[in-house]
Chain A
Amino acid sequence: MKRSFLLIFLIGLVGIIYIGRLFQLQVLEGGNPNPISSATIKIEYDYPERGYIYDRSGKLLVANQISYDVMAIPKELSAIDTLEFCSLLKISKEDFLRRIKKIKNAKKFAPWLPAVFIKHLAKKDYAFLQEKLHKFKGFYIQKRTIRNYPKPIAANVLGFLAEVNELQAKNNPEYENGELIGKLGVERYYEKELRGSKGKKHYNRDNLNRITGSYKEGIYDTLSVPGKDLTLTIDSDLQKYGEKLMTGKRGGIVVLEPSSGEILALVTAPSYDPNLLVGRKRSVYSPTLFGDTINNPTYDRGLQGVYPPGSPFKILNGLVGLQEGVISEQSYVYCYGGYRYGKRKNEFMKCHCGIYGRPIRLKKAIARSCNSYFSDAYRKIIDKPKDIKSGFDNWSNQIKSFGLGNYLGYDLPVGQKGLIPNAKYYNDRYSFGWGPTTNISNAIGQGEIQTTPIQLANATAAIANRGFYFTPHIVKKLNSENINNEKFTSKRQTTIAPEHFPAVIDAMHEVFKTGTGRYSQVKGIDICGKTGTVENFTRINGQKVQLTDHSILIAFAPKDNPKIAMAVFVENGGFGSTIAAPITSLMIEKYINGKVERKYLEDRMVNLSLQKEYDKLIIKKDSIEATGEQHL
């Protein structure tokens, strides 16, 4: 047997190696723990209809429409009358050949898998094609539902639908390539609710992707659950009016209902018609919408625009001063054309209140927007405790209690924190030591302070409510059931005691009676507000250059039992009183009276275009690296 050893040995060796390999394949790596993910099972989906979206009074904002996709099964394609087919689809022959080539490539791997030939056929074309489709073997029409926007407004609030990207499709088992997902706005934030869940049917399939029968008599199959309808807090008339007023300008208007935190209008300008991102128009317009880095229409300035708040911030400083007892209604300050906060020559902040050498008390300081008064108050607040850090943190926390300096927590997917500095922030940045005068501009809402328009509107609502606010939110009802979210129904208290508010509110009322907003009064409505004019700078070749000021205003009305609180921000709009104030008063008139009497003012505002200002900016910016004086 010695001579047969080699074979005997090899047979045994190979046997062991092969059985070992089988053990590795079948026992160690083997089995199929999830039968449904097997390649032999084809899943077909039953798509539920996506929920509709209504405004607060039940007016339809977003609906669905049917679109028709021409599908092709690669394996079944045969010679057709190309010319006729092209004319029916209204495409050129080159386009046709390009699309056919793409499908023929797919034929190698998935000969029976339907591929999209042309998306979103117009209804008219569909009707013609449908009659003649039998002539074109291998093609069929698949209906899909896409969005439809009866009113071309509130694009920033609604958002839009787009196909899921590959990463989402891969990581989220609920999505497959080619399915739609909400991007931006409520479409994104309430994606789950709007979408419902799709029904699944499992079939056995073979290697050519042909269905050979139901998988295990359908024990894994599920039914679809329809999406929920959303009712927004938006007042579509007010929204539309706000968008109209903002034509030709850049900025945002945020209108809240103080008693509930509901967002009545959320205007950003420039914006776009949401219908442009639907169906076949989408491919035409999306490059211009998403690629426009100058006007940036998909950027929500109401939520994302970070600006220094300017003078309206003085009100908050005044309230903190009252709360801390460092000022009172009767305490006064003298202003000599400005405020000297240091010994050096440049340590002097100018003031335009125009009250020279006479005592200035709180109400007057607010009405005339005196820089000196609030610089003094700010300094006193921070210097009150011996320890400057705790003084600064105390100030910072009180300001933050108005919802500034952090995300508000509203139910929309985009936002900014803004900035309210605290002691740690200063320690990190000013290693040489710092004090209240390190950045005295904080007193008047410039310097390091950064807010978004919705934060300012919310702070205004807190003032209107005399000390508390509800987290702003955009959705009122889900399928006719009121939303019951603790976050949106619970009061958020500010640190300011209620008794300090009347004085400040009186002063804000004064602004619209005799102060900077006096030309924007509305008959019969007591508006309280505060205008602001925010300096802004840009850097050209390393040189700081001042641009036209931003125009800003916060207001609420009526004075007692307020129904509306808002913030308006117009980029490079000049004085707060010239643009922001008229817009505010028109919005308030529209909302409270339901119609606007002052047509002349409305026309003036609608026709006022700041495009020249913005064009200047572009030319100036040719050699610029960043905008704004701010460090962030």
Chain B
Amino acid sequence: MRQQENNIFKNIDWFTILLYLILVAFGWVNIYAASSTNSSGELFDFSSRYGKQLIFIALSFPLIVFILFLNSKFYEQYSSLIYIFSLVLLAGVLVFGKKINGATSWYNFGGIGLQPSEFSKAFTALALAKLMSDRQYNLDLVKNQIKAFIVIFLPAFFIALQPDMGSVLIYFSFFFVLNREGLTLRYFILGIITIVLFLLTVNYGTKIILISTLSVTSLIIIYLIYKNKQFFRFNWPIILLTYVVSILFITAVGYTYTNILKQHQKDRFDILLGKIEDNRGIGYNTYQSELTIKSGGFLGKGFLQGDRTQGNFVPEQDTDYIFSTVGEEWGFLGSALVIILFSVLLYRIIFLAEQQTNKFSRIYGYGLVSILFFHVIVNIGMVIGLLPTIGIPLPFFSYGGSSLWGFTLLIFIFIRLDAHKKYDY
């Protein structure tokens, strides 16, 4: 530490904090709308969900102060320790945790639940930043790639054991960080092809997709050989590998889908792909949430005027489906505004991350953006019926202390790091 910062308030990014406050406040307004019907409706009724959320919000302020007043170097120095601590928490929850809705994700401290997976995202981002900010670190080496993957997927592995597949999915977002730091896009393209092949196989069955994939691949290879006579000679192992892998992959997906996936998991894909129409059973949530959003129209019905929200038609409306409340009561204007606010926040963080002179801060910033981005895509995509039902919260909006504090931690560590950038030379 070369220089002591005198006044942190001068250096922190107030714009990001403003966005944070707007999102949290608007989130709470919607939680109030979605949960007040079952309660007294009084503002400080702390037995109600909105009352509790108010406490969570209030408690996040000491947390923010704490984060901001820690030295920025603290995060870099202790990131490994914190990461290991979070792994211990994740492992411990499997043993000591409380089973809620079929997943052991919660610690229970005398009635207060804590969800370690909400915090481990931030700590994984720190650890990844620490790993990759090393001067010796070069992502072109496979060895280093594997190291990064281990850091990312170790916590994901524990979370998968809970099991909480939605949260596991978030860890894939770290790909964007790796990409920013130089990992080739081939992995990304490969990933996209994998997902597309997966969905096609699920939808149309193994045989057709296998045949068409092999024919398309063959056509491409024939074209490449036609262009360059030498192509085959130098690339035959890769060509062979492509064939073997695609045959194995498609067969495996087909087999997994029909024989290994549980019915409720299959249903989610089937509903999304339109293979089954189901407005009563598992498709009920999405159906109701779409109807609710539709009923909002352009201007929305107004605060507390959403009759579908007030009638509790959408299940989980104050947590995973909170965006449908926005859609109904604030209409197209309100919900589009939320998406714009999120986009602005994400762009702002990218902008700030790119300004970082310290590699650690930049990588962490990208981790933050990737996690937020994934949460927003997956959650809103599910609520508006574009993605299958995957239960993860909408940052700052969804009810829940762990999730709010987890995101607060994520974003304010970055603000703290950013505030220090002037002193990093």
Binding site for B on A (CB under 8 A): 1, 3-4, 6-8, 10-12, 14-15, 17-19, 21-23, 25-27, 29-32, 38-41, 109, 204-208, 212
When A19-B336, A40-B313, A207-B311 are in contact, do A7 and B180 touch as well, CB less than 8 Å? yes
- Name B342's closest neighbour in chain A (CB-CB): A15
**Is B298's CB under 8 angstroms from A14's CB?**
no
When A15-B339, A15-B343, A40-B311 are in contact, do A30 and B294 touch as well, CB less than 8 Å? yes
**Is B290's CB under 8 angstroms from A11's CB?**
no
Any chain A CB within 8 A of the CB of B312?
A: yes
Any chain A CB within 8 A of the CB of B37?
A: yes
Q: In the complex, what distance in Å separates the CA atom of A205 from the CA atom of B339?
A: 31
Q: Which of B31-82 contact A (CB under 8 A)?
A: 37
When A12-B343, A27-B332 are in contact, do A38 and B307 touch as well, CB less than 8 Å? yes
Q: In the complex, what distance in Å separates the CA atom of A20 from the CA atom of B179?
A: 28
- Among all A-B residue pairs, the 9 with the closest Cβ atoms: A31-B297, A40-B307, A26-B332, A206-B311, A40-B311, A30-B294, A15-B343, A207-B312, A30-B297
Any chain A CB within 8 A of the CB of B176?
A: yes
**Is A25's CB under 8 angstroms from B280's CB?**
no
Q: How far is the CB of A111 from chain B (nearest CB, A)?
A: 13
Q: How far is the CB of A37 from chain B (nearest CB, A)?
A: 11
**Is A22's CB under 8 angstroms from B311's CB?**
no
**Is B347's CB under 8 angstroms from A8's CB?**
yes
**Is B340's CB under 8 angstroms from A7's CB?**
no
Pick the contact of A7: B176, B332, B342, B376 (CB < 8 A): B176
Q: In the complex, what distance in Å separates the CA atom of A32 from the CA atom of B369?
A: 37
**Is A25's CB under 8 angstroms from B290's CB?**
yes
CB pairs A–B below 8 angstroms (8 shown): A3-B181, A4-B354, A7-B369, A11-B350, A14-B377, A25-B294, A26-B297, A38-B308
Q: How far is the CB of B5 from chain A (nearest CB, A)?
A: 27
Contact pattern, B 179-212, Cβ under 8 Å of A = 1, otherwise 0: 1111001001000000000000000000000000
**Is B373's CB under 8 angstroms from A10's CB?**
yes
Which residues of the partner chain B approach A19 to less than 8 Å between Cβ atoms? 336, 339-340
Q: How far is the CB of B4 from chain A (nearest CB, A)?
A: 32
**Is B311's CB under 8 angstroms from A212's CB?**
yes
Contact pattern, B 153-185, Cβ under 8 Å of A = 1, otherwise 0: 000000000000000000000001001111001
Q: How far is the CB of B383 from chain A (nearest CB, A)?
A: 10
- Name B295's closest neighbour in chain A (CB-CB): A32
Interface of A is mostly: helix
**Is A11's CB under 8 angstroms from B343's CB?**
yes
- Name A28's closest neighbour in chain B (CB-CB): B294
Pick the contact of A204: B176, B311, B380 (CB < 8 A): B311
Any chain A CB within 8 A of the CB of B386?
A: yes
**Is B307's CB under 8 angstroms from A4's CB?**
no
Any chain A CB within 8 A of the CB of B310?
A: yes
Which residues of the partner chain B approach A15 to less than 8 Å between Cβ atoms? 339-340, 342-343
Q: In the complex, what distance in Å separates the CA atom of A22 from the CA atom of B297?
A: 9
**Is B296's CB under 8 angstroms from A26's CB?**
yes
Q: In the complex, what distance in Å separates the CA atom of A396 from the CA atom of B366?
A: 95
Any chain A CB within 8 A of the CB of B27?
A: no
Q: In the complex, what distance in Å separates the CA atom of A212 from the CA atom of B37?
A: 10
Any chain A CB within 8 A of the CB of B293?
A: yes
Which residues of the partner chain B approach A4 to less than 8 Å between Cβ atoms? 180, 350, 353-354, 366
Q: How far is the CB of A308 from chain B (nearest CB, A)?
A: 56
Pick the contact of B293: A10, A14, A22 (CB < 8 A): A22
Q: How far is the CB of B234 from chain A (nearest CB, A)?
A: 29
Any chain A CB within 8 A of the CB of B346?
A: yes
Which residues of the partner chain A approach B350 to less than 8 Å between Cβ atoms? 4, 7-8, 11
**Is A29's CB under 8 angstroms from B180's CB?**
no
**Is B298's CB under 8 angstroms from A6's CB?**
no
**Is B311's CB under 8 angstroms from A32's CB?**
no
Any chain A CB within 8 A of the CB of B92?
A: no
With a 10 A CB-CB cut-off, give which of B310, B311, B342, B350 has the most chain A CB atoms. B311
Any chain A CB within 8 A of the CB of B131?
A: no
Any chain A CB within 8 A of the CB of B384?
A: yes
Any chain A CB within 8 A of the CB of B401?
A: no
Q: In the complex, what distance in Å separates the CA atom of A208 from the CA atom of B313?
A: 8
When A6-B179, A204-B310, A204-B311 are in contact, do A22 and B335 touch as well, CB less than 8 Å? yes
Which residues of the partner chain B approach A25 to less than 8 Å between Cβ atoms? 290, 293-294, 327, 384
- Name B369's closest neighbour in chain A (CB-CB): A7
Which residues of the partner chain A approach B290 to less than 8 Å between Cβ atoms? 25
Pick the contact of B307: A26, A41, A208 (CB < 8 A): A41
Any chain A CB within 8 A of the CB of B370?
A: yes
- Name A108's closest neighbour in chain B (CB-CB): B280
When A7-B350, A27-B298, A39-B313 are in contact, do A22 and B176 touch as well, CB less than 8 Å? no
Any chain A CB within 8 A of the CB of B331?
A: yes
Q: In the complex, what distance in Å separates the CA atom of A7 from the CA atom of B182?
A: 13
**Is A26's CB under 8 angstroms from B185's CB?**
no
Q: In the complex, what distance in Å separates the CA atom of A41 from the CA atom of B350?
A: 47
- Name A17's closest neighbour in chain B (CB-CB): B386
Q: Which of B284-323 contact A (CB under 8 A)?
A: 290-291, 293-298, 307-308, 310-313
| Other 9 A-B pairs with CB < 8 A, given A4-B353, A25-B384, A26-B331 | A11-B346, A11-B347, A12-B343, A21-B385, A22-B332, A26-B327, A31-B294, A38-B308, A40-B313
- Name A14's closest neighbour in chain B (CB-CB): B377
Which residues of the partner chain B approach A12 to less than 8 Å between Cβ atoms? 343
- Name B175's closest neighbour in chain A (CB-CB): A6
Which residues of the partner chain A approach B335 to less than 8 Å between Cβ atoms? 22, 26
Which residues of the partner chain A approach B307 to less than 8 Å between Cβ atoms? 38, 40-41, 204
Q: How far is the CB of B412 from chain A (nearest CB, A)?
A: 21
When A1-B354, A18-B380, A30-B298 are in contact, do A109 and B280 touch as well, CB less than 8 Å? yes
When A14-B377, A22-B336, A206-B37 are in contact, do A7 and B297 touch as well, CB less than 8 Å? no
Q: Which of B119-166 contact A (CB under 8 A)?
A: none
Which residues of the partner chain A approach B312 to less than 8 Å between Cβ atoms? 206-208
Q: How far is the CB of B324 from chain A (nearest CB, A)?
A: 10
Which residues of the partner chain B approach A205 to less than 8 Å between Cβ atoms? 311
Which residues of the partner chain B approach A22 to less than 8 Å between Cβ atoms? 293, 327, 332, 335-336, 339, 384
Q: In the complex, what distance in Å separates the CA atom of A467 from the CA atom of B114?
A: 98
Q: How far is the CB of B305 from chain A (nearest CB, A)?
A: 11
Q: In the complex, what distance in Å separates the CA atom of A21 from the CA atom of B377?
A: 13
Q: How far is the CB of B345 from chain A (nearest CB, A)?
A: 10
Q: How far is the CB of B356 from chain A (nearest CB, A)?
A: 12
Which residues of the partner chain B approach A206 to less than 8 Å between Cβ atoms? 37, 310-313
Q: In the complex, what distance in Å separates the CA atom of A109 from the CA atom of B350?
A: 47
Which residues of the partner chain A approach B176 to less than 8 Å between Cβ atoms? 6-7
Q: In the complex, what distance in Å separates the CA atom of A7 from the CA atom of B354?
A: 12
Q: In the complex, what distance in Å separates the CA atom of A23 from the CA atom of B310?
A: 23
When A6-B185, A31-B295 are in contact, do A18 and B311 touch as well, CB less than 8 Å? no
**Is B386's CB under 8 angstroms from A21's CB?**
yes
- Name A40's closest neighbour in chain B (CB-CB): B307
Q: How far is the CB of A20 from chain B (nearest CB, A)?
A: 10
Q: In the complex, what distance in Å separates the CA atom of A17 from the CA atom of B336?
A: 11
Q: In the complex, what distance in Å separates the CA atom of A19 from the CA atom of B298?
A: 12
Q: In the complex, what distance in Å separates the CA atom of A8 from the CA atom of B331?
A: 27
Q: In the complex, what distance in Å separates the CA atom of A19 from the CA atom of B293?
A: 13
Q: In the complex, what distance in Å separates the CA atom of A206 from the CA atom of B332?
A: 24
Q: In the complex, what distance in Å separates the CA atom of A7 from the CA atom of B369?
A: 9
Q: How far is the CB of A84 from chain B (nearest CB, A)?
A: 36
Which residues of the partner chain A approach B370 to less than 8 Å between Cβ atoms? 7
Q: In the complex, what distance in Å separates the CA atom of A15 from the CA atom of B327?
A: 16
Q: In the complex, what distance in Å separates the CA atom of A23 from the CA atom of B335?
A: 10
Q: How far is the CB of B184 from chain A (nearest CB, A)?
A: 12
**Is B293's CB under 8 angstroms from A26's CB?**
yes
Which residues of the partner chain A approach B280 to less than 8 Å between Cβ atoms? 109
Which residues of the partner chain B approach A23 to less than 8 Å between Cβ atoms? 332, 336
- Name A19's closest neighbour in chain B (CB-CB): B336
Which residues of the partner chain A approach B298 to less than 8 Å between Cβ atoms? 26-27, 30-31
Q: In the complex, what distance in Å separates the CA atom of A15 from the CA atom of B345?
A: 12
Q: In the complex, what distance in Å separates the CA atom of A200 from the CA atom of B105?
A: 49
Which residues of the partner chain A approach B311 to less than 8 Å between Cβ atoms? 39-40, 204-207, 212
Which residues of the partner chain B approach A212 to less than 8 Å between Cβ atoms? 37, 310-311
